[in-house]
Amino acid sequence: MSAGAGVTGAKLPMRVKLIAGFGSVAFGVKDNGFSFFLLIFYNQVLGMDAALVSLALLIALLVDALVDPLLGNLSDRTYTRWGRRLPWLYAAPVPLAVLWVLLWSPPGGAAPSFAGLVAIAVAVRILLSACEVPSIALVPELTADYDERTTLFRYRFLSGWIGGLGMMVLAYTVFMPGAEGMLAIEGYQAFGIFGAVLMAVSVIGSAAGLHPLVARLPETKPPPFTFRHAFAEIAEAFSERAFLIFAAGGLAAYVAQGMTFSISNYLNLFVWQLTRAQLVAYPLMLFASVVLMFVIVGPMHRRLGKAASAALSAVGAAVIGIVPYGLLLAGLWPQPGTLASTAGFYAFLVFANALGVVSLVSATSMMAEIVEAFEERTGRRAEGSFFSGGWLVQKCATGAGIFVTGQIIAFAGLAPNAAPGSVPPEVLTRLIVCFGVAGVGLALVSAFFLSRFPISRAEHEARLERLAHRRRTDPLAEAARADPEGHSIGA
């Protein structure tokens, strides 16, 4: 396998799929913590204003997102005997783990300043990107096959969700059990320590497992790094038409996901009034939905293609997810907190979340095909730049989603330290209506753009043939295109 080129049509061994997926556990731990617990921890436990916390997290995400393309470009330019990605995967996890502990154990057990929260959130996210961007950029290097890439992303998403949901189960059963436990600082401290260890083990373990496959000197030696050339390469990559279409659709999809995740604990506690036992079942229902995604996404891609699968799933997820809330407002739903109410809510949740994850897996897998489109046009591969661009979109959008949640909570008038079952009905109505309108609107925008993604299976496979022909017939010209400034090639 040529470095960075992938193997067309080759079926990867199961152990490679599992090892590659395992590296995404760290992202699941981080995403679960930021999306489900960080806002409620700093708001309800440490006493910071919800709108202020959401603003701090949004700023941190935006700063991190601006750094991501530089990380991706640096990853593409890394030139070592271990390849382009592995040095990052060995260097970043330990400092990431240390800062993750500090995020959940602020000095003195008191809320930090607004600037302090921004600073530590930025540092955590940048170090996570230094792990995740190189890790996900390995996918196009491992295989160029249209379906095998989907399979690798299936395993990455499944592993990420297992990591995140595993932490959620531990949070609800061990670290902060029950609604009362979610309001005690000690549980969050243990949550942070355990998560830090898991993140470091997953990234380093995955890198070590893939080491024999990807640890080789890259075929092309990049020119020396300069900010001018780096930003020029980033701008060129981000101007790819297929990437711009993906970015528009992905932006709306990730805003919706960020909003849904960050508001879920509020909805579970105050709208559905889930008991301790019912809260424990919540991550299990999410896991069931991810297993359902794992089963259906492959057949959907084979039958519909990635673009149609992404668009239809986005709309389906929003419509199915909002139905229980509509029935509740209409007075056609069982009393919240009862077994009938919880069972019905979970039934809709499984199918809605499964389709939501199908949409995100499809969009992420679509981005892998942009790599070859860019290579055909420029002669350069830029996996790190494109996937860091994807992270830029996701982080900006997720931050916007968390920010939207903070504003929805403030607009609804939900008071800090509110008790489940005692919130005025008009507050819950405002909370539900705002959440529903935003979710459906974002899904429609996402579907509009993702359905217009221009790279089909047939076009991707034809492009691979053209690239292979180019390499066979004119390897020197190909090398010159990859290094137009005339720097030395190879070792």
Q: Tens of pLDDT along 93-124? A: 999 999 999 999 888 778 888 999 999 999 99
Closest CA to 353 of 326, 390, 316: 316
Q: What's the Rg (C-alpha) of the chain?
A: 22
Task: Give all domains of the chain, ordered by start, each with its CATH number.
Answer: 14-207+225-482 (1.20.1250.20)
Q: pTM for this structure? A: 0.73
Task: Say yes or no to pLDDT of 478 above 70.
Answer: no
On the question of pLDDT at 389 being above 80, the answer is no
Per-residue pLDDT, 228: 78
The pLDDT assigned to 304 comes to 92
319 pLDDT exceeds 90? yes
Tokens matching residue 4: 């960075």
The band of 390, judged by pLDDT with boundaries at 50, 70 and 90, is confident
Nearest by Cα to 273 from 187, 349, 334, 322 = 334
Residue with tokens 């992270």: 391
Nearest in space to 10 (alpha carbons), one of 178, 192, 141, 195: 141
* Predicted pLDDT at 427: 93
- pLDDT above 50: residue 489: no
How far is 485 from 210, CA to CA, in rounded Å? Answer: 32
Q: Greater confidence, 12 or 491?
A: 12
In this prediction, residue 210 carries a pLDDT of 92
pLDDT for res 6? 46
Predicted confidence (pLDDT) at residue 223 exceeds the cutoff of 80: no
What pLDDT score was predicted for residue 475?
Answer: 55
Residue 354 makes CB contacts below 8 A (sequence gap 6+) with 289, 290, 292, 293, 296, 317
The listed range with the strongest mean pLDDT (211-220, 376-385, 471-480) is: 211-220
Q: What pLDDT is stored for residue 485 in this prediction?
A: 45
78-90 pLDDT, tens digit each: 888 998 889 999 9
Which of 81, 54, 84 minimizes the C-alpha distance to 72?
Answer: 84
Most confident of 13-17, 181-185, 202-206, 395-399: 202-206
Indicate the pLDDT class of residue 491, thresholds 50, 70 and 90. very low
From residue 397, alpha-carbon distances to 24, 391, 442 in Å are 20, 9, 11
pLDDT of 350 reads 96
Instruction: Please compute the mean of the pLDDT values over residues 59-66 and round it to a whole number.
Output: 81
Residue of 162 and 11 predicted with greater confidence:
162
Q: Mean pLDDT, to the nearest integer, of 15-21?
A: 91
Average pLDDT over residues 420-433: 90
The reported pLDDT for the residue numbered 394 is 77
Computed over every residue of the chain, the mean pLDDT equals 85
Mean pLDDT computed over 57-73 = 82
Query: What percentage of the chain reaches a pLDDT higher than 90?
Result: 38
Tens of pLDDT, residues 245-273: 998 998 999 899 889 888 888 899 899 99
436 touches 275 (CB < 8 A): no
Of the chain, the percentage scoring pLDDT greater than 70 comes to: 94
Whether residue 202 is predicted with pLDDT greater than 90 in this model: the reply is: yes
Is the model's pLDDT at 440 over the cut of 60? yes
More confident residue, 359 or 284: 359
Residue with tokens 């997102």, as numbered in its chain: 65
For position 474, what pLDDT does the model report?
Answer: 66
